[in-house]
Structure 1
Amino acid sequence: MPSPYINDQAARAKTAALLGRLLADSYIIYVKTQGFHWNVVGPQFEPLHTLFQDQYTELAQAIDEIAERIRALGVKAPGSFAEFQTLTSIGEEADAPAADAMISQLLSDHTTASRTALQVVTEAGTQGDVATADLATQRVTQHEKTAWMLSSLLQRSK
């Protein structure tokens, strides 16, 4: 028997709103990571240039999946910078900071996005929405893995 969630538009809208925030967080991180990819300089240029490209490429796929899940819930997906800016708690970066500052910002941003994704997991689980919970769980995993990798870059060998 299908979950009553299927026909509960208010519950679906609540879950979609949290997904919208995750979408906004992800999009802002995507734009920031791509900008850092273009503008990183210094002795870490080559590995960071490649790492940032890998990260924004992964985010591009995730952004599409999140937006499509919002649509599957019957809600319009946010799709403009204005909407993303009102939904996210992640700040943009207009400058090209030093490489370590880039890494630190992205570490903080991925930690924030992981928390946002965890809120989606919790709400979707409460509503019996296993598809959204699964998608958000994958995002928690990816953001935590990325944060761990970025954190490792900032650690000094002893």
Structure 2
Amino acid sequence: MKTTNTANTAIGIEKDNRKAVAEMLEQLLADEFVLYTKYRNAHWNMEGIDFHSKHVFFEEEYGKLENTIDEVAERIRMLGMYAPGTMERFLELSELKENGPEQNDSASFMKVLLDDHSTVIKFIRKNIGDNAEAHSDEGTADFITAIMQMHEQMAWMLRSSLKTFS
């Protein structure tokens, strides 16, 4: 599959910078998709006394990620590149593992998801400055800052929920 759009993308960012930013966004897209899939797994397979409330909770959270996935792919396209779109490619690009908990209770799922949010937050935080400074793309820096804040909020919800299990 082509990685670069042949159309002229004259948006004030050099092609090499757009390519570097798109490569970072490809990993973010892959991480978002793997995390989304893990939330779906939790939604479908969790068991326990808190089943209904956590079933609803996991559904709300994967809904947020579903929107983010689309926005990240569209941002890659805005930069004149093509977004990856296969599970094979997502698994190659992602820093997240296709792991699940050993048990299907909500706390076990939430611990795995919390670790993944932490990984995504650290990745984004590391790349905000590069996007704005090294690649002259303040738009993507702002864009991923908002995504980082969403992940921080989602991680807070998980940490707060896990307090009752500690």
What is the TM-score normalised by the length of structure 2? Answer: 0.86
Which residue is 2:106 aligned to?
99
**1:27 aligned onto 2:28:** no
Residue equivalent to 1:79: 85
Please identify runs of 4+ aligned residues in structure 1 that moved more than 6 A. Answer: none
* Counterpart-to-counterpart distance in 2, 1:76 and 1:154: 39
Match of 1:42 in 2: 48
**Aligned equivalents of 1:74 and 1:149: distance in 2?**
36
CA distance in 1, matches of 2:13, 2:145: 23
8 Å CA contact retained: 2:17, 2:136 = no
Q: SS state of the match for residue 164, structure 2?
A: coil
Maintained 8 Å contact 1:18/1:119:
no
| SS of equivalent residue, structure 1 residue 105 | helix
Deviation at 1:120, TM superposition (A): 3.2
Shift of the 24–50 alpha-carbon distance from structure 1 to 2, 3 Å rule, reads same
Q: CA deviation at 1:130?
A: 1.9
Alignment of 1:37-76 (within 5 A): 37-76=43-82
Distance in 2, matches of 1:69 and 1:117, equals 15
| Partner SS for 1:6 | coil
- Structure 1 window deviating more from structure 2 (123-132 vs 67-76): it is 123-132
Contact 2:13 2:137 in 1 (8 A): no
Q: CA deviation at 1:93?
A: 3.4
For residue 151 of structure 1, the aligned residue among 147, 153, 159 is 159
Question: Structure 2 vs 1, CA of residues 153 and 128 (structure 1 numbering), >3 Å: closer, same or farther?
Answer: same
Percent identical among aligned pairs is: 34
C-alpha contact 1:5 1:12 (8 A) present in aligned 2: no
Q: Which residue of 2 aligns with 1:120?
A: 127
Structure 1 regions of 5+ residues with no counterpart? Answer: none
**Pairwise CA RMSD:** 2.0
Task: Provide, for residues 47-101 of structure 1, a one-character-per-residue CA deviation record: whole Å limited to 9, x for no partner.
Answer: 2111110110010100000000001111111111111111111111367633211
Distance 1:138 1:112 in 2: 16
Instruction: Name the amino acid aligned to 1:105.
Output: V
Bigger shift: residues 100-109 or 120-129: 120-129
**SS of match in other structure, 2:158:** helix
